[in-house]
Structure 1
């Protein structure tokens, strides 16, 4: 089973401190869902927030002995260019532990995030969506998944 994730950035959820108990709770929810769904391959778009917590959940499961692999889909090589140092270090550490890293565009341009989302959906069986119901890139990803006939499993933020 291949599962990808879509969800809001930190400023629309719990802030940028991923040690916040709400982020940690979301990570535990991801772990439970991935085990329950017998996920063997998980795809993260590696954005700050939901994507990062999802990737960390996958890597924790792998370290705990679960048969799961992390695959990262990056919109472009410059994705983390404007992030703070701590987030860049975490991002690079996650990429080093991923089984594969796919960069979907050579450079940043309009629509590159949606292109990354479409790649993830196209290569997944199920999409986990952390969505508050508001218009966003997360909503666009969900609509694309539905159009492609993919199952979308919602997680309330």
Structure 2
């Protein structure tokens, strides 16, 4: 069984609290294990490694013994992050079953059309570009098979965002409603109190 995560960064999460978010992610993943596969070793998770929901789910995977793939949109993802955030990110990479640099994969390499030109320009590897975040999201969804137990676990407020684009791509890719779990309402409910086991 494959699962992937998509969700907002801290600045878009109301009442953001890192530890509470990790507890919610842990409760969600525990329920997935109970409902769908019975053992964490039967799951392979895919994390986009962004701050916020992605990393909360990554920490939950480590705590629960779920193997995960770190799907890094570009090598220098942490350039603007502070030291604590970079250290945590490095720890996550070390714990990953595999690290995939998505912008190194031919299928997900990004190109753009420059204003006034009629040709596509390849975007260099390893550096930031907004297209690379979208390509990373497509990679995450592409690891999930429609119609079976695979699922995308989202923390999605409904507002326009990269998370919204990821959820839309998942629907366009054929994932059904039972495969796209949105725990935003659970977050609103539990961000001010203890997380319970009934989370979606």
Give me the TM-score of the superposition, normalised by structure 2: 0.70
- 1:16-49 superposed Cα distances (whole Å, 9 cap, x missing partner): 7523x3x143223233233133251000000000
**1:110 aligns to what?**
130
Task: State the 4+ residue runs in structure 1 displaced beyond 4 angstroms.
Answer: 14-17
**2:139 aligns to what?**
119
Q: Secondary structure at the match of 2:74?
A: coil
Structure 1: 5+ residue stretches without partners: 63-67
Instruction: Provide the rounded CA distance (Å) in 1 between the counterparts of 2:85 and 2:16.
Output: 9
**1:79 aligns to what?**
77
RMSD over aligned CA atoms reads 1.6
**1:51 aligns to what?**
54
Structure of higher CA gyration radius: 2
Size of the aligned set, in residue pairs, is 150
**1:138 aligns to what?**
163
Instruction: Provide the rounded CA distance (Å) in 2 between the counterparts of 1:16 and 1:86.
Output: 17
Residues 1:60 and 2:63 aligned together: yes
Structure 1 residues 16 and 153: alpha-carbon distance in aligned structure 2, compared to 1, 3 A threshold:
closer
Structure 2: 5+ residue stretches without partners: 104-124, 145-149, 188-200
Shift of residue 14 of structure 1? 4.9
**2:9 aligns to what?**
9
Contact 1:7 1:130 in 2 (8 A): yes
Shift of residue 126 of structure 1? 1.3
